[in-house]
Amino acid sequence: MSLAFDEFGRPFFIIREQERKTRLRGLDAQKANISAGKAVARILRTSLGPKGMDKMLQSPDGEVTITNDGATILEQMDVDNQIAKLMVELSRSQDYEIGDGTTGVVVMAGALLEEAQKLLERGIHPIRVAEGYELASRIAFEHLESIAHKFEFSCANEEPLIRTCMTTLSSKIVNRCKRSLAEIAVKAVLAVADLERRDVNLDLIKVEGKVGGKLEDTELIYGIIVDKDMSHPQMPKQIEDAHIAILTCPFEPPKPKTKHKVDIDTVEKFQTLRQQEQKYFDDMVQKCKDVGATLVICQWGFDDEANHLLMHRNLPAVRWVGGVELELIAIATGGRIVPRFQELTTEKLGKAGLVREKAFGTTKDRMIYIEHCANSRAVTIFIRGGNKMMIEETKRSIHDALCVARNLIRNNSIVYGGGSAEISCSIAVEAAADKYPGVEQYAIRAFADALDAIPMALAENSGLQPIETLSAVKSQQIKEKNNCCGIDCNDVGTNDMREQNVFETLIGKQQQILLATQVVKMILKIDDVISPSEY
Amino acid sequence: MASMMQPQIILLKEGTDTSQGKPQLISNINACVAVADVVRTTLGPRGMDKLIHDDKGNTTISNDGATIMKLLDIVHPAAKILVDIAKSQDSEVGDGTTTVVLLAGEFLKEAQPFIEDGVHPQNLIRSYRTASYLAIEKIKELAVSIEGKSLEEKKRLLAKCAATTLSSKLIGGEKEFFATMAVDAVLAIGAEDRLNMIGMKKVPGGTMRDSFLVNGVAFKKTFSYAGFEQQPKKFLNPKILLLNIELELKSEKENAEIRLSDPLQYQSIVDAEWNIIYDKLDKCVKSGAKVVLSRLAIGDLATQYFADRDIFCAGRVAEEDLHRVAAAAGGTVQTTVNNVIDEVLGTCDIFEEKQVGNERFNIFSGCPSGRTATIVLRGGADQFIEEAERSLHDAIMIVRRALKNSSVVSGGGAIDMEISRYLRQHARTIAGKSQLFINSYAKALEVIPRQLCDNAGFDATDVLNKLRQKHALPSGEGAPYGVDINTGGIADSFANFVWEPAVIKLNAINAATEAACLVLSVDETVKNPKSESAQGDAATMGGRGRGRGGYGGRGMRRR
């Protein structure tokens, strides 16, 4: 810390608790920051690409997560270093905005930092490095636009969408059924998409998982699944042409919210009260019957008496259904949520072609399927898998695939994957570098080198010779003027990503480059770190 | 001998730390210079950021002088003055906070050798005051007014000012983009002086270029109950009802209790309660409003009721957002649903719920009165957005100030060099010690271009000499020359549109001089011992007051 001295030459305090604070400044601070950032990138580097490995993370309370998703890994790692936290947020914001490419963006930022360090050691001003990076990122951004392909799809032709989702899924643990999962993801997104506004509300896609069965049993249901069973075991298990009453009021005598007290001083009064309560139940069930409901879905519970009554009146019911699910059911079946029995009318009932209760395997678990709904704008993806970790990872993978499909609906441009886009950008940036006078030129060239880090990591993870492979592909791109050459991770035998059908979304790639540059600039711009030295 | 036998008079409480005289003055100066050194490197487009990490685990990455000074948590009494002037600069003009600290530090540094040589501080103070007066006159003379230009041109010029501020910040790479945004936002709220009409919303994710300006109000989707998704999410020209009541089924009076003697009356009580809420909801619907916002909760019952009637509602809207909607849409916030007349309903061109990053936003755009603007900031990390917000705040303040006192000066250290030259020239006409002091004041002003060069890694002496030569040209054509940050040479700042509102410089010089004079006028510090018990609390309060009075007062008396 900066010290000042008093008249006797003793240092005195300017800042509160000065002795307990540490301060790093100048090049030391930058180097420390860079190495923190690089450390994070190094962790994620091995999970990049189709041959990338997974990480096992154990939370403080013993829960185990196995994942390949960059954002999830970093989130669970609980990093303490400030710069490392920035990298975590970088990955998170890629996740928020695009949903995919969370590993790539961190690896990219790590590579940029590594290159920056070399330049700093040569005495180049960090801000000039950052500015050079910014120039280069803009070149790469525009270059991506120029090599992007627009591709047409429609509800009838979903093949291109499926292919792109497959690229995303291929790096995940679920890649053995990537085809079927990709199909499910695309169909789900198309079902809820508003193609005119190019908007997809992913909230309408419910992803539900259940341990047991195998991954291949994962299915898409045009309707809703509720993890509940009928309130009475003797109620019918299957209802066709169901008219559903969706209630947010309990099957019990209404209670005024204001504090109240009923004075009962005679036996008669007690009897009346008792009868009245029974009458309430009766009326409620009758009301549901009257409007023609054949199934009642209730947000609250109801006691055994009501349950018995419902059973007697042959009105199946489901209780304790969560608010979000209730809403989805209402949307799917075209019904209205009814807050009061008096408001129940025939128009407000939801309609579903089939409601059935399904039991799984030998367990007693049962779930309710609501299918063939009037409006299929709400769908459910039902995941099966051998264990809980597997299901959780599949959920994350499906989420990534859904995001990719959504991004394509928003913007139907794609670039080719397998590192081909990065290599192509690297060549373009390298070529553009020479046009810039001044120190920035070095930074731009460094940016080009950093772009090579992604194909390099891909090759490395796939067990190929990284440098040889990269240089071979690079020269091929230049020689054949073909910007679709990438790393052949799966050993298919061709480098052309068009033939391999490896696509990525344009906006995802662009976002990766811009975000990584932005965060690197932020890190480079810090030359002074003041922190309490306790931790 | 007899006098020596007299008992010692204990004036101050035991443990009180007093120091006085010249050494005290020198040590105060040292402390201030040390503080100025902390923010030194953040100046200018090549200035670096500081990462400050406090005990609570909050991290701030900033380039803003006032923010850094505030977070440093300075306890040294003299150095605290610098924190105060940075704060006052921030609240007065919004930018130039680093400049003001740096200038004050430099004035003191220049004064130090004179103090050591035995010059009376009051002599220095007087000369500094004269110099600052002359400097301010000179700035006023050099300032170029942008009054009377057409709106289009004014907009362009204001954007230049904002861009100069932004160039030193993290978002400097996109300065044109954000400068235009700041100008649009300020012009949108018009002449009104209500800065809280510009809202800033932060959404992590996306790149900074994804930030956008809404000519109206935007806020994050509030907590919603089941049934919300069934409401329509887009309206054209909707009527907007703003409420400050709860639309929920609840007990009407907290302490009331109903006593029933007859169980048959039970139903009527229940019905009565339902009727109250239904009545309220019905009145909302009858008013013709299509969007209902409330500062308090809108319950699930109401949500579903509105969903049935194709009305959008949002409860628990933050108060400032609600007031902005009121100002923008031209409605008034109602505390009852009775007698809702058309005049209290607001309207806007488009209301829409939109996905921004991971959040859904309610956006009201194209509002009739147009007195509000909302900036939605995007960025890769929380700290990034925080810093972007601070930077944009600076830019907005600058634009506002420039709009009011519409005169600008050239930046890049040009104005400082010019004043410095002027003061040197003036000093030569003075006989006496003052000449030296004004000269040193002039030298202190050169710290701005010098620091700009240092931060950029240029040879400061070289550049400074080039600038001195340019500014000394008798024709005066060299006046707008400042440091060229890109090449390491000098350039005409005015022609390159490196502009600052004159008011920043005026305020900075004033405040820095004031602070320097204040520090110079102190010759004794009385520091009370720390109180140990709770009972001592009151004693400290009094003590501190006395201490403060002590050092200000005594200094004054000896003038």
Looking up tokens 């008096």, which residue turns up? A342
- Among A3, A5, A13, A15, the residue to mutate for chain B (most B Cβ within 10 A): A15
Cβ atoms within 10 Å of B550's Cβ, excluding its own: 18
Residue B14 has a pLDDT of 67
Least confident segment among A440-449, A516-525, B171-180: B171-180
Report whether pLDDT(A439) > 50. Answer: yes
* A519·B384 Cβ contact <8 A: yes
**From CA B151, how far away is CA A45, in angstroms rounded?**
53
d(CA A425, CA A483) in angstroms, rounded, equals 9
Q: How far apart are CA B217 and CA B239, in angstroms?
A: 15
DSSP states of B408-456 as a string? EEETTTHHHHHHHHHHHHHHTT--STHHHHHHHHHHHHTHHHHHHHHHH
Which tens digits make up the pLDDT trace of A67-81? Answer: 888 888 888 888 888
pLDDT of residue A408: 84
Output the CA torsion sign for A440, A117, A145, B215: negative
Token output for B555: 């200094």
Q: Read off the pLDDT of each residue in B168-182 and give the average, rounded to a whole number.
A: 84
The token pair at A436 is 């810039």
Q: Cα dist. A253→A266, A278, A281, B6, B300 in Å? A: 21, 9, 7, 93, 19
pLDDT band at B442 (very low <50, low <70, confident <90, very high): very high
Determine contact: A13 vs chain B, CB below 8 A: yes
Q: Phi/psi zone of residue B190: left (φ > 0), alpha (ψ -120 to 50 degrees), beta?
A: left
Query: Which residues 351-410 in chain A show a CB within 8 A of chain B?
Result: none
Show residues of chain A in contact with B486, CB under 8 Å. 438
Instruction: With CB atoms and an 8 Å threshold, state whether B74 touches A272.
Output: no
Cross-chain CB nearest to B170 (options A273, A327, A525)? A525
| Encoded amino acid at A470, one letter | L
Strands B350-356 and B346-347: unpaired
Among chain A residues, the shortest Cα distance to B169 is held by A525
Residue % of chain B over a pLDDT of 70:
89
Q: Does A126 touch chain B (CB under 8 A)?
A: yes
Name the least confident of A3-17, A138-152, A258-272: A3-17
- Beta strands A526-532 and A219-221, pairing class: unpaired
Tell me what pLDDT residue A11 has.
60
For Cα atoms B413, B417, B423, give the angle at the middle one, nearest 5 degrees. Answer: 145
The percentage of residues in chain A with a pLDDT greater than 90, rounded to a whole number, is 8
How many residues comprise chain A? 535
Q: Give the pLDDT score at B366.
A: 80
**Position A48 confidence tier, pLDDT thresholds 50, 70, 90:** confident
Q: CA–CA separation, B305 vs B227, rounded Å?
A: 9
* Residue-wise pLDDT tens digits, A270-327: 888 888 888 888 888 888 888 888 888 888 877 787 788 888 888 888 888 887 888 8
Say how many CA atoms lie within 13 Å of B322 toward its Cβ.
24
Alpha-carbon distance of A113 to A135, in angstroms, equals 16
Cβ atoms within 10 Å, residue A103: 28
The closest CB to that of B37, out of A2, A269, A323, belongs to A2
State the pLDDT at residue A7: 53
Q: Which of A220, A215, A221 is nearest to A177 (CA)?
A: A215
* Mean pLDDT across chain B: 82
- The whole-angstrom separation of Cα A129 and Cα A139 is 15
CB B372 within 8 A of CB B189: yes
Chain pair A-B, CB pairs under 8 angstroms: 250
B301 to A339: CB separation less than 8 angstroms, yes or no:
yes
The answer to whether the Cβ–Cβ distance between A92 and B205 falls below 8 Å is yes
Contact: B225, A323; criterion CB under 8 Å: yes
Q: Give pLDDT, residue A9.
A: 56
Q: Are B501 and B399 in contact (CB under 8 A)?
A: no
**Would an 8 Å CB–CB cutoff place A324 in contact with chain B?**
yes
B304:A339 CB<8 A? yes
The residue whose two tokens read 């930092």 is: A113
The residue of A93, A276, A406 whose CB has the most chain B CBs within 10 angstroms, and thus the best one to mutate to test that interface, is: A93
Query: B554 is written with which tokens?
Result: 């005594």
- DSSP alpha helices (H): ranges in B199-308? 266-286, 300-308
Cβ-based burial of B200 (10 A; exposed 0-12, middle 13-18, buried ≥19):
middle
CA angle B493, B494, B498 (to 5 degrees): 60
> In this predicted structure, what is the pLDDT of residue A448?
93
pLDDT of residue A12: 61
Q: Using CA atoms, how far apart are residues A422 and B241, in angstroms rounded to an integer?
A: 52
Q: How far apart are CA A460 and CA B116, in angstroms?
A: 67
B contacts of A199 (beta carbons < 8 Å): 355
Q: Chain B residues with CB inside 8 Å of A278's CB?
A: none
- Nearest by CB to residue B75, choosing from A7, A16, A257, is A16
The structure tokens 């009021």 sit at A249
CB within 8 Å: B384 and A522:
yes
CA distance A253 to A277: 6
Mean predicted confidence (pLDDT) in B213-221: 85
Reduce the DSSP state of residue A185 to 3 states and report it. helix
Retrieve residue B55's tokens.
């005990």
Q: Could you say which DSSP state residue A208 is in?
A: E
3-state helix, strand, coil in chain B (%, to 5): 50, 15, 30
Is the CB of A10 inside 8 Å of chain B's CB atoms? no
Distances (CA, A) of A21 to A16, A17, A532, B52: 9, 7, 4, 10
What rounded mean pLDDT belongs to chain A? 83
Residue B127 has pLDDT above 90, yes or no: yes
pTM value is 0.82
pLDDT on residue A140 = 93
Strand (E) or helix (H) holding B461: helix B460-471
Identify whether the C-beta of residue A133 lies closer than 8 Å to the C-beta of residue A448.
no
Model confidence pLDDT, tens digit, residues B114-125: 998 888 999 999
Residue A503: what are its φ and ψ, rounded to 5°? -120, 155
Contact yes or no for A93 and B204 at CB 8 A: yes
- Binned at pLDDT 50, 70 and 90, residue B551 comes out as very low
DSSP A11: E
Give which of B51, B171, B458, B459 to mutate to test A binding, by max A Cβ within 10 Å. Answer: B51
- Rounded Cα distance, B24 and B20, in Å: 5
Cα A391 from chain centroid? 14
Residues ≥6 apart with Cβ < 8 Å to B477: none
Q: How confident is the model at residue B559 (pLDDT cuts 50, 70, 90)?
A: very low
> Residue B288: left (phi > 0), alpha (psi -120 to 50), or beta?
left
For the ranges A268-277, B109-118, B193-202, B316-325, the one whose mean pLDDT is highest = B109-118
Exposure pattern of A366-405 as b/e (b: 16+ CB <10 Å)?
ebbbbbbbeeebbbbbbbbbeeebbbbbbbbbbbbbbbbb
Give pLDDT, residue B556. Answer: 38
Question: CB distance from A323 to chain B under 8 Å?
Answer: yes
Q: Which two tokens stand for residue A252?
A: 């019990």
- Each residue of A225-234: pLDDT tens digit? 888 888 888 8
Contact B525, B517 (CB under 8 A): no
Nearest CA among A450, A458, A454, A457 for reference residue A524: A450
Question: What's the mean pLDDT in B20-37?
Answer: 84
d(CA B519, CA A95): 52
Q: Read off the pLDDT of residues B248-298 as tens digits, 9 standing for 90 and up.
A: 777 666 677 778 777 777 778 888 888 888 888 888 888 888 888 888 888
Contacts of A90 in chain B (CB under 8 A): 380-381
pLDDT higher than 70, residue B545: no
- The Cα B200–Cα B189 span in angstroms is 14
Is residue A2 pLDDT above 70, yes or no? no
Token pair for residue B5? 């036998």
Q: What SS3 state is found at B34?
A: helix
Strands lying side by side in the sheet with A149-150: A149-150, A413-416, A503-505
Coil, helix or strand for A151?
Answer: coil
pLDDT value at residue A329: 85
**pLDDT tens digits for range A3-12:** 555 555 556 6
Q: Is A475 helix (H, G, I), strand (E, B) or coil?
A: helix
What percentage of chain B reaches a pLDDT higher than 90?
A: 15
Tell me if residue A77 falls in helix, strand or coil.
helix
Please say if the pLDDT value at position B163 is more than 70: yes
Bigger pLDDT: B558 vs A375:
A375
Which residues pair with residue B235 across a beta bridge?
B351
Chain A residues closer than 8 Å to B301 by CB? 248, 339-340
Give the 3-state secondary structure of residue A529. Answer: strand
Name which of B210, B264, B274 is nearest A272 (Cβ-Cβ). Answer: B264
In terms of phi and psi (left: phi > 0; alpha: psi -120 to 50; beta: otherwise), the region of A17 is left
Terminal Cα-to-Cα distance of chain A (whole angstroms): 17
Query: Known catalytic residues of A?
Result: 69, 102-103, 400
Helix (H) or strand (E) holding A118: helix A102-121
Most confident of A60-64, A469-473, B366-370: A469-473
**A318, β-bridge pairs:** A230, A297
**Three-state secondary structure of A236-277:** CCEEEEEEEEEECCCCCCCCCCCEEEECCCCHHHHHHHHHHH
